[in-house]
Amino acid sequence: MEYRRLGKSGLQLSVLSFGSWVTFHGQVDDSLSDRLMGLAYDSGINFFDNAEIYALGESEKMMGRVLKKKNWDRTSYTVSSKAYFGWRGTNNKPNQTGLSRKHLVEACNEALQRMQLDYLDLFYCHRPDRNVPIEEVVWTMTNLIQQGKILYWGTSEWTAAEIMHANMIARQYNLIGPVVEQPEYNLFRREKVEVEYAQIYKNEGLGTTIFSPLASGILTGKYNKGVPEGSRLSLEGYEWLRNRNLLDENLARVAILQTVADQLGTSLATLAVAWCIANPHVTSAILGATKEEQLKENLKALEVYPKFTKEVMHEIDTIMGT
């Protein structure tokens, strides 16, 4: 495993990490989540990602049960959660979502309870909340750090301007700014990571933990022959994800990408993950998996990404139309 420093912070994260969205409680039971996290940890993964909204709190509970059972040295791994969407779904009342001080503090306490942890290593604002003053968010996150409930805080899918604003407030009032952004990044979605944030990696010392490196599985090539039964894009309730990713144009590009994978003697899945971590601005790529074989295949990205020459990168860019 390779470890990268998270932006300007002192924290080192494994360049591949593991998240539980859709999978834990939805597709994966306690026994499989135990095996997946065990495989991840034994492979050197030291960052596990979660959020209050995943399976409406059940994902955090499942991860918490695994962590308790494994009883790994707490200093050897990091765990995150995220607040914004709430965990009560359609029953969310005012103040049970968003980034108010009230919701952030309560979401943090609830995540700690569900995961049976004393502190979160990383706590994210899952989306920007334009109804809450940024000062309130920065104060609250600073307070949570001072109380020892979280160690670092970050953002997810914020604009570069919003991240800079939060850091400006932190500097102005001697508070603690965000050190990490969690954006989507994969061969189809590059703009934010490669263009929008380009100016803030250095200036703001920003690290990134990127999500959906396989665009929910499209980049494995398995959707090129139809939608496999039980796969994420076959699941009820994920029409929005299908509409977003399962596009003829995407499938056509994936089919051509197979030639590059063949040249490198690797699979499409491994190639797509390797491509993400070949970007030095990516601190960690968060993997998702419903099977141990998938995780093993994706972990091979560590061996493959050093093989990416300028020519290979150029070929990939041409295929992806960038």
Binding site for ligand NDP (CB under 6 A): 19-21, 23, 27, 49, 126, 156-157, 182, 211-217, 220, 222, 231-232, 269, 286-290, 294, 297-298
d(CA 153, CA 247): 35
Q: What is the per-residue DSSP string for 108-173?
A: HHHHHHHHT-S-EEEEEESS--TTS-HHHHHHHHHHHHHTTSEEEEEESS--HHHHHHHHHHHHHH
Cβ pair 111, 80 in contact under 8 A: no
Q: Quick one: angle between helices 248-264 and 268-277, nearest 10?
A: 90
Nearer to ligand NDP, 65 or 168 (CB): 65
Among candidate residues 3, 41, 54, 124, the one labeled active-site is 54
Residue 253 tokens, joined: 């590009």
124 catalytically annotated: no
Whose Cβ is closer to ligand NDP: residue 54's or residue 139's? Answer: 54
**Minimum CB distance to ligand NDP, residue 3 (Å):** 19
Q: Which is nearer to ligand NDP, 77 or 175 (by Cβ)?
A: 77
- Of residues 35 and 168, the one with the C-beta less far from ligand NDP: 35
Helix (H) or strand (E) holding 64: helix 58-70
Pull the structure tokens for residue 99.
Answer: 């980034």
Nearest distance from C-beta of residue 166 to ligand NDP, angstroms: 17
Beta bridge partners of 180: 154, 207
State the nearest-atom distance from the C-beta of 21 to ligand NDP, in Å.
3
In 3D space, the residue among 19, 3, 2 whose CA is nearest the CA of residue 287 turns out to be 19
Residue 165 CB, shortest distance to ligand NDP, in Å, is 20
Residues known to be catalytic? 54
